[in-house]
Structure 1
Amino acid sequence: MPIHILQAEIDAELEAREVLRFRAPLMSALLDDEDRHDREAAFSRLAAANKVLAAWNPLLVLKAGGVR
């Protein structure tokens, strides 16, 4: 497996955890603008990593909940 695929897999797992950090019960209602921006940026980075993973093997795509 190429190194850029391995890096994308690591990045996807990291960003999926970051997204989950903002999904705690009642957390989404309490987010300020900076936290909302951070959450959207994590979603964006997760999507970019998933795009690389899907090009290699669609079964490698990671959902925001950390489930394949």
Structure 2
Amino acid sequence: MYYITDQRAGEPDILTPVKNGKLTIRSLDGQIIHTQAAPENGWTHLLLCEVQPQGMESGADAYLDNVWIGSTEV
């Protein structure tokens, strides 16, 4: 899974507003593969990168609450 939550100079911060949201990973046909509550202090890019569940072989998208934050297709 490739998460687009890392912030480089000049890029908007998409993680901070949703850092306490539930992580949901869905297959490309919309089936839930994995869900995980946010850590106590919220998600960071590094913590998200550690989440690599099985079942993403045919493609998947990641969301914090309903905000798209990554994909196997990036």
Length-normalised TM-score, structure 2 = 0.24
Larger radius of gyration: 1
The structure where helix makes up a greater share of residues is 1
Structure with the bigger RCO (C-alpha within 8 Å, sep 6+) is: 1
TM-score by length of 1: 0.25
